[in-house]
Structure 1
Amino acid sequence: MKKSKILAGTIFLAIIGLITIAADHIDAPASRGTSADISDFYAFQGENTNNLVFVANVQGLLSPTATSTATFDENVLVEFNIDTNNDNVEDLIIQAIPRDGKMYFFGPFPASSTDLNSTVNEMATKNEVAISKYGLGAVISNSNQMKFFAGPRDDPFFFDFAQYSAIIGGTASGFNNPGADTFAGSNVLSIVVEVPKSSIGGSGSINAWIETKVKQ
């Protein structure tokens, strides 16, 4: 992959508890409506408590009809950035990029650059998983003590956007209970990687964020 630049917003979080989430849902100005848009980033402890799971969701608000034809963009590289010493600079990177119906993963590997340009590190540990089809069972790959998934999923993010807008506009004082899920019935394309804690800084807390970069 040639030099590339970030088109979507970067989503950042610190992993301290068992589950954390960050979301923007197509509000990054330079990437709105593109295949590089990030909707969510989740990180949580795996069922195997020695592992952490990272989830990058892209192309949010897909209707069921749109989901049936949606595909990962082969020109978009997704990077999971991991900071192990709390200086908010990536120490380790996991890259994911689709090719011919499969999602390929490289890493985790030590970061050699922290600028906006990236190349696929083909010298890093390589894994792959077939991209799951909409409406069919999930395809999960197990390799090198890691697990991998890529494909469409129901959008798990719950948010009452209309009520939020009313609160911001001063016509409401708080959220309703229950609220209305703006994202109900919509889907995303998910990239999931589960890694041993021992390979990304042991059992201590880490910072993590994702970036999408488009081939130029």
Structure 2
Amino acid sequence: MKKTKILIATAIVCIATFVAIAADHIDAPAVTGGTSDITDFYAFSGEDNSNIAFVANVQGLLLPGDTGSASFDENVLIEINIDTDEDAVQDLVIQAIPRDGRMYFFGPYATNSTDLSSSIGTTSSIQGVVDITQYGENAITATANNMTFFAGPRDDPFFFDFDQFNSILDPDNSASSFNDPGIDKFAGTNVLSVVVEVPKSMIGGSGNINTWVETKRKQ
């Protein structure tokens, strides 16, 4: 197996049985404005209920068409961890790494590693590749080994009244309620998304899992 040493840059622990959401959005000082910054992570049943879709978003608050700076970093590995037996230790991983305009996927495959470093499983028997969708293009997807893949910019719908949240935290502000309906605070901004849809049979069968995502930077 070819091994590439990767060190952890940031991680969001996210908890899922079918649906999970966690958000960072440049809150972590160590990765603010960096290419390893995780914004959101989702896991949910696919349109085909026998599948689970994983969505990992990085690099939030991107302006549409900002092709000069908004691109996946070839030195950053996106790693989806899957715990199938509820012991809070990953049993399987799905890895995604960009190269020359394409996103390469490895796994899900079994791992015993709980270290803050990873090796890319380039000899994994289950893997796929998809062209990275560019701004203005229709979404490009690819299917291999009963899995479906996507990578590229997407709109960031963040329906949270962030201004009111900050106001409530201000002891000198008398406001006490959020706007209803909610406000898409990040309207007009994008994230870079990595999406992989996987049959439940590949990750324990039932789909009842815990899952979290990490980004790891090449050493």
Length-normalised TM-score, structure 2: 0.93
Query: Once the 2 structures are TM-superposed, how far is the Cα of residue 111 of structure 1 from its aligned partner?
Result: 1.1
Once the two structures are superposed, the pairs formed by residues 15-54 of structure 1 within 5 Å of their partners are 15=17, 18-54=18-54
Query: Once the 2 structures are TM-superposed, how far is the Cα of residue 204 of structure 1 from its aligned partner?
Result: 4.5
Summarize deviations over 1:133-158 as a string: whole Å, max 9, x none: 11110000011000000000001222
Identity %: 59
Query: Once the 2 structures are TM-superposed, how far is the Cα of residue 68 of structure 1 from its aligned partner?
Result: 6.5
Query: Once the 2 structures are TM-superposed, how far is the Cα of residue 110 of structure 1 from its aligned partner?
Result: 0.3
Summarize deviations over 1:102-125 as a string: whole Å, max 9, x none: 000000000131110111111112
Q: Extract unaligned runs of 5+ from structure 2.
A: none
Asked if residue 192 in structure 1 is aligned to residue 186 in structure 2, the reply is: no
Structure 1 distance, partners of 2:182, 2:138, is: 31
Once the two structures are superposed, the pairs formed by residues 1-216 of structure 1 within 5 Å of their partners are 2-15=4-17, 18-66=18-66, 69-124=69-124, 125-170=126-171, 171=173, 172-216=175-219
Query: Once the 2 structures are TM-superposed, how far is the Cα of residue 13 of structure 1 from its aligned partner?
Result: 1.3
Q: How many equivalent residue pairs?
A: 214
Length-normalised TM-score, structure 1: 0.94
SS at match of 2:25: coil
Tell me the C-alpha RMSD between the 2 structures. Answer: 1.4
Q: Extract unaligned runs of 5+ from structure 1.
A: none
Structure 2 distance, partners of 1:52, 1:110, is: 17
Structure 2 distance, partners of 1:185, 1:106, is: 32
SS at match of 1:71: coil
SS at match of 1:151: strand
Structure 1 distance, partners of 2:169, 2:83, is: 34
Judge conservation of contact 1:9–1:31 (CA < 8 Å) in 2. no
Query: Once the 2 structures are TM-superposed, how far is the Cα of residue 179 of structure 1 from its aligned partner?
Result: 3.4
Structure 2 distance, partners of 1:107, 1:31, is: 26
Judge conservation of contact 2:127–2:145 (CA < 8 Å) in 1. no
SS at match of 1:183: coil
Structure 2 distance, partners of 1:161, 1:25, is: 12
Moved over 3 A (4+): none
